Amino acid sequence: MLGAPLNPPPRAALPCPFLASATSSHGCAHPCAPQVFPRPFEPVLGEYKSFDDGVMRLHHEWAREACIDFFAVSWGGDGTRAPNKKGAVDGHCRLVDDSGKHTKPRCTKDGEKVPPERGKQYAVDGWKEPVQWWSPSGEVDLLIQRHLEVKDGVPMALMYEVRDVLGVGEGGGSVDLVRGDNPLILEHHLLYAAEHFFLHPNYMKINGSPVLFLYTLRDFQNFVDPLNNAISKVQKRIGRSLYIIGDVLWWNPPPSHFPWEQYRAINLSAVTGYNLFDAGQPDKMDAAFSWHSAELHARFGEEASRRGMSVIPYVSPGYDDRKMRGRARPAIERADGAQYLKAWKELRRVINCQGRGGAGGEKGQGESGQKTRAIALVNSFNEWHEGTQIEPSKEFGESYLKWTRKLKQLVAGTEEGEGEGRERGNSSLVQDWNAACDVRAAQVSVAGKREVTGREATLLQEFHWNRTSAIQ
């Protein structure tokens, strides 16, 4: 039995004027065991398992309450990954069935059918190297497929964790897509996604094009040919184009030094920054983080718009992984919601100017050639160990769900209870949130007020968690 009451669902008449996505991590039973992944906050649900049907339904209901349009969920393929060079081959696996459909590995050993085992390696016909089976990724893959079947659930989109799949790992440097059998792994995973995800009615699509995030695309090397080869096969299989979003934004090198023409060569639709926290820059990871992030988005927006790409801004309530990675690391404090409010306010220009030649550009199109609705990326829904979650907690209750809904309305210039046709950018609650779609003007404007105004403080207080009414 779940320990949190459900608020009534939002009124259907209330518009969600632009798309908001929340990143979701299902790599283990979330929240991960505190002794393995210690966390700064405690979930209202207590220790829970992401595989529980009730938890899945509740997560989707909470997302709808917050006016979140889809989940971008971490995905490491079907469970196959690059080999551990020191491991021995323990059998043979097929990754394609007799009909040509890409499937999870079907393995044999000494002529007998055997299930693949965690960490063991198997030969694959036509591959130079064996493939390793990583059961945690295989379990997450099945979990995402179950999420797609949740009744009235929000759509799902894959955030492809190429680093982990190819054995590079976080902080491991560049990801070379032509090394070894990397092109074959990439092709297998994307064709598997084409056959198990992209055409599902509840998979996220923009103008008919399935959405695919490429995590840390900024670190990819030699990626144009492998990606184009795999993507072309996917698009032929599903009969439509992909809407590809690259995780590109970072603090260095300067935006002009990124390989923009190579991004155009893979038909990248948009760029984003999944997580801009950088422990190596403690001077920016503080109360002024939202300001620094907005300035970075403005500079990337100028480069992206020249190539017809959109910038999908990232907003986060804070960041604190010190319990897991060491107390000496910097943290972006939540400040009782003020950090989250400032993040939305600073990035309002980026969100509202997508597709208008400012921070967005003119491409941003799906297969139909139609312009897309603007998108914002909330990091995160339930990354508890990094302290970025908006999922209800014992410390804040449902405050961040309610703030997400309200701030989304404010950014769009509409508020709950207002009639249709309201002029864009004229919120009765926060009247100074307007911003021009000129990049140079934006770079000047973000240097303005960093403090929370009296009206904004009223908004924070309106939805702030009252600990005296804590959920039992």
Cis ω on the peptide bond leading into residue 31 (within 30° of 0)?
yes
Task: Find where tokens 């297969």 sit.
Answer: 367
Judged by average pLDDT, the poorest of 71-75, 288-292, 361-365, 436-440 is: 361-365
Task: Find where tokens 């939805």 sit.
Answer: 463
Statement: residue 20 has pLDDT above 60: yes
Whole-model pTM: value is 0.88
pLDDT in tens, 309-343: 999 999 999 999 999 999 999 999 999 999 999 99
Tell me, what's the pLDDT at 187?
97
Tell me, what's the pLDDT at 37?
75
Tell me, what's the pLDDT at 450?
56
Whole-angstrom Cα distance, residue 213 to residue 421?
A: 33
Whole-angstrom Cα distance, residue 409 to residue 415?
A: 5
What mean pLDDT is reported for the chain?
Answer: 83
pLDDT in tens, 368-413: 455 667 889 999 999 999 999 999 999 999 999 999 999 988 887 7
| 382 or 424, greater pLDDT | 382
Statement: residue 7 has pLDDT above 50: no
3-state DSSP percent of the chain in helix, strand and coil, to 5 = 30, 15, 50
Q: What CA–CA distances, in Å, run from 154 to 25, 66, 68?
A: 15, 11, 8
Q: How confident is the model at residue 428 (pLDDT cuts 50, 70, 90)?
A: very low
Q: How confident is the model at residue 460 (pLDDT cuts 50, 70, 90)?
A: confident
Q: What is the mean pLDDT of residues 209-215?
A: 97
Statement: residue 467 has pLDDT above 60: no
Q: What is the mean pLDDT of residues 57-73?
A: 94
Residue from 161, 209, 155, 149 nearest 186 by CA:
161
- Do the bridges between strand 89-96 and strand 102-109 make them parallel or antiparallel, or are there none, so unpaired? antiparallel
Whole-angstrom Cα distance, residue 136 to residue 27?
A: 7
Backbone angles phi, psi at 378, to 5 degrees: -95, 120
Task: Find where tokens 């070379």 sit.
Answer: 176
| 189 or 364, greater pLDDT | 189
Judged by average pLDDT, the poorest of 36-45, 169-178, 197-206, 413-422 is: 413-422
| 439 or 59, greater pLDDT | 59
Tell me, what's the pLDDT at 457?
83
Q: Which stretches does DSSP call E strand in 263-385?
A: 270-272, 310-312, 314-315, 375-378
The token pair at 80 is 């196959």
Whole-angstrom Cα distance, residue 176 to residue 112?
A: 36
Taking only Cα atoms into account, the Rg of the chain, rounded to an integer number of angstroms, comes to: 22
Whole-angstrom Cα distance, residue 249 to residue 299?
A: 10
Task: Find where tokens 């084409």 sit.
Answer: 194
Judged by average pLDDT, the poorest of 69-73, 114-118, 369-373 is: 369-373
Residue from 424, 406, 412 nearest 347 by CA:
412
Whole-angstrom Cα distance, residue 212 to residue 197?
A: 11
Tell me, what's the pLDDT at 98?
93
pLDDT in tens, 162-186: 988 987 766 667 899 999 999 999 9
Residue 440, Cβ density class (10 Å: 0-12 exposed, 13-18 middle, ≥19 buried): exposed
Q: What is the mean pLDDT of residues 192-205?
A: 97
Tell me, what's the pLDDT at 139?
93
Cβ neighbour number for residue 195 with a 10 Å cutoff: 16
pLDDT above 70 covers what percent of the chain? 79
Residue 381, Cβ density class (10 Å: 0-12 exposed, 13-18 middle, ≥19 buried): buried
Whole-angstrom Cα distance, residue 299 to residue 306?
A: 12
| 111 or 363, greater pLDDT | 111
End-to-end CA distance of the chain: 12
Whole-angstrom Cα distance, residue 273 to residue 256?
A: 16
Q: How confident is the model at residue 425 (pLDDT cuts 50, 70, 90)?
A: very low
Whole-angstrom Cα distance, residue 430 to residue 415?
A: 10
Q: Which stretches does DSSP call E strand in 149-275?
A: 156-160, 175-176, 205-206, 209-214, 220-221, 243-247, 270-272
Cβ neighbour number for residue 175 with a 10 Å cutoff: 23
Tell me, what's the pLDDT at 326?
92
Statement: residue 276 has pLDDT above 90: yes
Which range among 30-39, 255-264, 403-412 has the greatest average pLDDT?
255-264
Whole-angstrom Cα distance, residue 79 to residue 71?
A: 20
- Helices 135-148, 53-65: crossing angle, 10 deg rounding: 60
Residue from 263, 277, 273, 269 nearest 298 by CA:
273
Tell me, what's the pLDDT at 29?
37
Tell me, what's the pLDDT at 350?
77
Q: How confident is the model at residue 439 (pLDDT cuts 50, 70, 90)?
A: low
Q: How confident is the model at residue 18 (pLDDT cuts 50, 70, 90)?
A: low
Residue from 287, 293, 246 nearest 270 by CA:
246
- Do the bridges between strand 156-160 and strand 89-96 make them parallel or antiparallel, or are there none, so unpaired? unpaired
Q: What is the mean pLDDT of residues 279-296?
A: 92
Query: With contact defined as beta carbons under 8 Å apart, do 325 and 388 qualify?
Result: no
Statement: residue 26 has pLDDT above 60: no
